[in-house]
Amino acid sequence: MELMDALRTRRAVRVFTGEPVDDITVEELVGAAVLAPSAVNLQPWAFAIVRGTERLHALSAEASRYALAHLPAGSPLATHVADPAFEIFHGAAALVVICAIDGERQSSEDCCLAGENFMLAAHAKGLGTCWIGLSRAWLNDPSVKAELGIPADWHPTAPIVLGHPSALPAPTPRKKIRIVWCR
């Protein structure tokens, strides 16, 4: 798949088949993620991978409760998360959490760059992904990190679900691009 085609056709996938994604494929995608640039080449990332639709289903309920309790009053997301049918991890086969592993200021941005690489590489392999930013605060809770086995000094930054898509969503319209030329 050509890069521009991947950029134009990648979508956030929120409906998955439930079919597992094998370890070798996940490792290949992580290999693509770490090709991302990072400030002074620090490569400040590590990966926590949660596998299995049943486990993610159980964790989804916990993460949704946490998110709902911590959303600001009147947030449009609150109505969405409060829906009993809402599943924050969307029935995916895996949750890949890219974690910042140093205290450098730009490490979060570097992890986000790795996340985009991961998502584009997954799309090129016919897999679906969705960035689950709503789970980030929950994943950074010390008790959740302990439950999942994420080291205490790792900082979950880029939570991405991965799986075989049931279907690819239609393209969404893009807003008008705003550019200020500073010459």
Encode pLDDT of 48-68 as tens digits.
Answer: 999 999 999 999 999 999 999
Quote the CA–CA distance of 115 and 109 in Å, as a whole number. 10
Nearest to 104 by CA among 33, 152, 39, 48: 39
According to CATH, the topology of domain 3-163 is: NADH Oxidase (3.40.109)
Can you read off the two tokens belonging to residue 168?
Answer: 């690819």
Nearest to 41 by CA among 122, 117, 104, 119: 104
**Residues near 58 by beta carbon (within 8 Å), at least 6 away in sequence:** none
To the nearest 5 percent, what fractions of the chain are helix, strand and coil? 45, 15, 40
Quote the CA–CA distance of 34 and 153 in Å, as a whole number. 20
Write out 149-163 in H/E/C secondary structure. CCCCCCEEEEEEEEE
Tokens 């590590």, located at residue? 46
Q: What is the pTM of this model?
A: 0.94
Tens of each residue's pLDDT in the chain, 183 residues: 899 999 999 999 999 999 999 999 999 999 999 999 999 999 999 999 999 999 999 999 999 999 999 998 788 888 889 898 999 999 999 999 999 998 888 999 999 999 999 999 999 999 999 999 999 999 999 999 999 999 999 999 999 999 999 988 888 899 999 999 999
Tokens 């807003």, located at residue? 175
Quote the CA–CA distance of 53 and 56 in Å, as a whole number. 5
Greatest pairwise CA separation for the chain in angstroms? 55
Q: Where are the domains of the chain?
A: 3-163
